[in-house]
Amino acid sequence: MRKFRGPKQRHVLSAAKWWVLGTVAAQAAAIATVSVIDAMRKKRAPQSGRFPHLPPQNAQVGPNSMTIFTYGRELYDAMLADIRAAKDRIFFEWFIIKADETGAEFRNALIEAAQRGVDTYVIIDTWGNANQDPRFRRLPKMEHLHTLLFPFVRPGLFNGRARDKGRDHRKILTVDKRIGYVGGYNIGTLYAHEWRDTHVRIEGPAAWELDDAFIDMWNDYRKKHHPAIADDGVTDWDATVRAVMNTPALNVFPISALYMDAINRSAVRVWITMGYFIPEEPMLIAMTNAARRGVDVRVLIPEYSNHIVGDWAGRPHYERLLRSGVRIFLYEEAMVHSKTMTADGRWSTVGTANIDRLSLRGNFEINVEVFDPGFAAAMERIFEVDLANSHELTLEQWQARGRRDRVLETVLRPLAPLL
């Protein structure tokens, strides 16, 4: 029997339809507006891509030698040297590897390692490389070279299956079970010279943390023609260095708790660097509570990121943070893409997860946390150099922004969970 809809129901449905259409139209117009504003800025005052940086910073953390890289070319040189010296096996998992001369260096080094008999396993996210030549990511079929292309289509958003959710946003290299790299750097010539990012190299038993993370990912998503990798288990329970992973396939997202726990425990200072910063309510509460109890909470973010819509979607939170005493610094002349935090001179994390919904509740991500004052001191030195290349955004400056900006922020704010 056909259900009759009275005039009032039809009016409500019609109003809802037009409200949705109006909202979508307003958001599309706002996206176009901020994109035009950003394009005009780039033409009028392009970033130089130059920034101050320290040489690689070293710290001995128990039995592990740790090196923090903040300049891409220096990181790539170290990674390539380790790949070329590999004798047993290589695990390589990356979100973006550009089909340019820098990407070719890594592609060739991985192929050469396999040619000399090193078991080489590669995971590349297809979505992250969708704008690159697809032939570049299809490595040759060889006895010792195994490639897994993480699928472009992830239907979990529609079918509800946890296994089908999330992009592989991780950036991991491990060599011979004793060396591991993790951090924010993608691979490409642009990142080598013009982006400020952070990666850490671990040499020692804690490299197992990254080795094991790769093995789990490979074994969970390999196809029938891919060999399984044996999981040997941990040989050292030292928690001084620990990898923490977001795994959408299991609905497990502990990195958000990792960040908030450090903020909630802090008594003196919390210094944060984020490429993309769109905090949700629990993170906002942790940060503002810490600032109100006297903790020196500083957040360093790009003045202009490469995702301008995300910048604008995050801006509505600034006033609340500034009013509580959180200090916000805007990095100049280059894109800062790091995902780092250090607290009270004793705890630090470096990884792939931004403070936004996509990283903290959507993607496969990995951070390494380090409990060590020497490592924290190196992280603080790096942060202080970055502060010298930034300017502080004050509450007075923020409140003085124009009406146009306020309207655009309001219209774009609902998009934050998608960015």
Summarize the confidence of residues 67-91 as an average pLDDT.
98
Q: Which residues pair with 296 in a beta bridge?
A: 269
Q: Do the strands 195-196 and 390-393 form a parallel or antiparallel pair, or are they unpaired?
A: unpaired
pLDDT at residue 38 tops 90: no
CA distance 415 to 26: 12
CA distance 275 to 339: 6
Amino acid at 167: R
- pLDDT tens per residue, range 338-372: 999 999 999 999 999 999 998 999 899 999 999 99
pLDDT at residue 236 tops 80: no
- pLDDT tens per residue, range 152-168: 777 666 666 666 778 99
Q: Is residue 227 exposed (0-12), middle (13-18) or buried (19+ Cβ within 10 Å)?
A: exposed
CA distance 54 to 361: 33
Q: In percent, how much of the chain has pLDDT > 90?
A: 72
Q: How confident is the model at residue 10, as a pLDDT?
A: 61
As a three-state string, the secondary structure of the chain is CCCCCCHHHHHHHHHHHHHHHHHHHHHHHHHHHHHHHHHHHHHHCCCCCCCCCCCCEEEEECCEEEEEECCHHHHHHHHHHHHHHCCCEEEEEECCECCCHHHHHHHHHHHHHHHCCCEEEEEEECCCCCCCCCCCCCCCCECCEEEEEECCCCCHHHHCCHHHCCCECCCEEEECCCEEEEECCCECHHHHHCEECCEEEEECCCHHHHHHHHHHHHHHHCCCCCCCCCCCCCCCCCCCEEEEEEEHHHCECCHHHHHHHHHHHCCCEEEEEECCECCCHHHHHHHHHHHHCCCEEEEEEECCCCCHHHHHHHHHHHHHHHHHCCEEEEECCCEECCEEEEECCCEEEEECCCECHHHHHCCEEEEEEEECHHHHHHHHHHHHHHHCCEEEECHHHHHCCCHHHHHHHHHHHHHHHHC
Q: How confident is the model at residue 328, as a pLDDT?
A: 98
Strand arrangement, sheet containing 390-393: 241-246, 365-371, 347-351, 339-343, 269-274, 296-302, 327-331, 390-393
Summarize the confidence of residues 216-223 as an average pLDDT.
94
pLDDT at residue 1 tops 90: no
Q: How confident is the model at residue 159, as a pLDDT?
A: 64
- pLDDT tens per residue, range 77-86: 999 999 999 9
What Cα–Cα distance (Å) separates residue 373 from each residue in 322, 325, 344, 366?
Answer: 29, 26, 9, 22
Summarize the confidence of residues 65-93 as an average pLDDT.
98
Q: How confident is the model at residue 161, as a pLDDT?
A: 66
Q: Global pTM?
A: 0.92
What Cα–Cα distance (Å) separates residue 213 from each residue in 128, 341, 384, 391?
Answer: 20, 21, 32, 38
CA distance 100 to 122: 18
Q: How confident is the model at residue 80, as a pLDDT?
A: 98
CA distance 313 to 276: 10
- pLDDT tens per residue, range 237-264: 788 999 999 999 888 999 999 999 999 9
Domains of the chain: 57-240 (3.30.870.10), 250-418 (3.30.870.10)
- pLDDT tens per residue, range 261-300: 999 999 999 999 999 999 999 999 999 999 999 999 999 9
In this prediction, residue 126 has a pLDDT band, given cuts at 50, 70 and 90, of very high
- pLDDT tens per residue, range 379-409: 999 999 999 999 999 999 999 988 888 888 8
- End-to-end, the C-alpha distance of the chain in Å comes to 44
